[in-house]
Amino acid sequence: MRVALLSDLHIGMHRPRLVQPMLDAISDAAPEHIVVAGDLVQRARRELFAEAEAILDQTGLPWLCVPGNHDIPLMNVPGRLLWPFHEYEMSVPGPREPLLELPGLKIIGVNSTFPYRWRNGRLTDRQIARVKNLARTGPVMVVQHHPISLLPGETKELMLNAEKAITAYDEAGVDLVLTGHLHHFNLASSASGMKQIHAASALCDRSEDPPNEIAILDAEAGGFQLTRMIAPKDGADFVPQPPIALPSRR
């Protein structure tokens, strides 16, 4: 089973010249499904969501998405507090916390956005308990926008309940946790073998970010293989990097 991993497209503040190369890279990799770890758009406006939807639909593949903080209103405070997901749900298929069971991999989507804490997000005890219950059979990958740990030197705050979530996910036997938000790739591992994949930005045009990238995840007997695909800032194609072996915990 092969899955394409994307995060932080930020349509509306993205690099249009990289859209077709991204679609070509996905087509060449021939995954069965696409998973997006939030921030489809820069601002939660219907026309931007429609553009993001049109881009992903060009792949001809089913795609699963969880919301990011940019996918709910920022300046429209009544909209953010009263109907934060109205525009998101007009374009994104499925629930905000999707569940997908593929051959060799169960994907559990978690909505880590929190309208009262727009940038940093949170998880509730109920959400954490849901993951623990669903993770009884695996292998399992949890997908959420906000990370459960930060990179060295990171200035952003952790979401509320991050420490509780990382302990619960680890104890439940979760194999992989895919997050976005930081725009920098990193791979971290717990002492017991849970892997945290901090995804880089697929398309965001922010000058201080590293080069854009996506990833391909292969679920294989005994574990996973992760292949990063990076678009150098002076180039126009997503270039595959040497694959990274990620052993399964089960």
pLDDT tens figures, 23-46:
999 999 999 999 999 999 999 999
What count of other Cβ atoms lies within 10 Å of the Cβ of residue 97?
Answer: 17
Q: How confident is the model at residue 250 (pLDDT cuts 50, 70, 90)?
A: low
State the chain's mean pLDDT as an integer. Answer: 93
What radius of gyration, in Å, describes the C-alpha atoms of the chain?
Answer: 17
Domain 2-247 class in CATH: alpha beta
Among 201, 208, 229, residue whose Cα is nearest residue 7: 201
Structure tokens at 2: 């092969």
DSSP 158: P
> What is the pLDDT confidence band of residue 154, given thresholds at 50, 70 and 90?
confident
Q: Do 46 and 87 touch, CB atoms closer than 8 A?
A: yes
Token representation of residue 197 = 């994949």
Kindly state the tokens that stand for 52.
């993001």
Residues 6+ apart with CB under 8 A from 50: 90, 91
Q: Is pLDDT larger for residue 65 or for residue 156? A: 65
How many Cβ atoms sit within 10 Å of the Cβ of residue 90? 11
Q: How confident is the model at residue 249 (pLDDT cuts 50, 70, 90)?
A: confident
| DSSP symbols for 26-84 | HHHH--SEEEE-S--BSS--HHHHHHHHHHHHTTTS-EEE---GGGS-SS-HHHHHH-T
**Helices in the chain by DSSP H: which ranges?**
19-29, 46-57, 77-82, 86-91, 125-134, 162-172
* pLDDT digit string, tens, across residues 124-139: 999 999 999 999 987 9
* Backbone torsions φ then ψ of 246, nearest 5 degrees: -125, 100
**Model pLDDT for residues 74-122, shown as the tens digit of each residue:** 888 877 888 899 999 988 988 999 999 999 899 999 999 999 988 899 9
Sorted by where each begins, the domain ranges of the chain are: 2-247
